[in-house]
Structure 1
Amino acid sequence: MGFPNKRLSVLLALSVAAMAMSGCTRIRTHQGYLVDNLLVDSIQPGTDNRASVEGTLGRPTFVSEFGQQDWYYVARDMKQLAFSNPKVAKQEIVRVQFDGAGNVISIDKRDASAIARISPKDGSTPTLGRQRTLLQEIFGNIGAVGAAGAGGAPGSGTAN
């Protein structure tokens, strides 16, 4: 039994394709600080200090552990298609540098080009020692258990 009209079959095929495509959703998320360029540009080196920067921009995303304790404000927009791995669509990092007295020395901005790409080693982590198969791991101790203390554990009182 076929469809009476070719137009109806094309319409049905298009509706099935539209329903299948609706499952492929794009997910967009924002992580971190919401950068307001007007506020960032209002901070002036030599004029502002830590208290005024915190009052203008808020608390930083993180503070450097070493050196003069620079403040970093990180904003990242991510995109993801259905179940794929998320990718960085846009990233902005605002770094505020302070001198020893807590006054602003400089402000600089960086984008997604500052992201470090790492590639972990595929397979397994190299270690020292024996390379044993799964079966050797499972059955490797057969006959070794209790061989040293044939009469039981030392001090258990089962020796003759």
Structure 2
Amino acid sequence: MQFPPKVHRCATLGLAVCAALALSGCLGYDGDFDRGYQVDEDTLSQVKVGATTKPEALALLGTPSTTSTVGGDAWYYIGQKMKHTLQFMPVQMADQHVLAVYFDKDGKVDRIANYGMQDGKVFDFVSRTTPTGGQEPDFLRNMMGGLFRFT
């Protein structure tokens, strides 16, 4: 079956527009991105050990990602560099760092540490999953055993 030239041109143009729209989502795609706190060396150099107070550190560094709850007073600024190799592939962590600011009992900066992946193992700081009961392999067996037990 032969189509008229006008229909053939419209179909070709429509196909080209659809292909351009489909590929436009890939344009300008940058697979690497930062997540969390990114250390600014100029700002960090303004935090002086033994002189900077908590309010001054808060004004310079901003709100910490988390704080210590046990064994001293410390603020932790957590940042990660993520890599997204392909548009529809899962994100992978390329680098991770934790800036730790420790305070003495007077509320002044005692020391500053910048931990990276080389200082320990990678772990998930913010996990959105909560373990629930019943996930054990014996759950079904326990349910069926209790079903037929009459006492």
Which TM-score applies when normalising by structure 1? 0.56
1:116 aligns with 2:116: no
Task: Kindly report which structure 2 residues correspond to 1:1-160, keeping only aligned pairs within 5 A, or say none.
Answer: 27-82=31-86, 83-113=88-118, 114-116=120-122, 125-127=136-138, 130=141
The SS at the match of 1:75 is strand
Provide structure 1 residue ranges, at least 5 long, that are not aligned to the other structure: 1-18, 119-123, 149-160
Deviation at 1:81, TM superposition (A): 2.4
Query: Percent identity of the aligned residues?
Result: 24
Distance of 1:108 and 1:38 partners within structure 2: 16
Q: Structure 1, residues 36-78: CA drift from partner, whole Å, max 9, x if none?
A: 0121122111111111101111111111111223101111110
Which TM-score applies when normalising by structure 2? 0.59
**Structure 1 pair 89/125, CA: closer, same or farther in 2 (3 Å)?**
same
**Structure 1 pair 35/69, CA: closer, same or farther in 2 (3 Å)?**
same
Distance of 1:88 and 1:32 partners within structure 2: 12
Higher share in helix: 2
Moved over 4 A (4+): none
Aligned residue for 1:5? none
Larger radius of gyration: 1
The SS at the match of 2:73 is coil
Distance of 1:75 and 1:58 partners within structure 2: 13
Aligned residue for 2:14? none
Q: Contact conserved, 2:82 with 2:94, CA < 8 A, in 1? A: yes
Q: Contact conserved, 2:80 with 2:96, CA < 8 A, in 1? A: yes
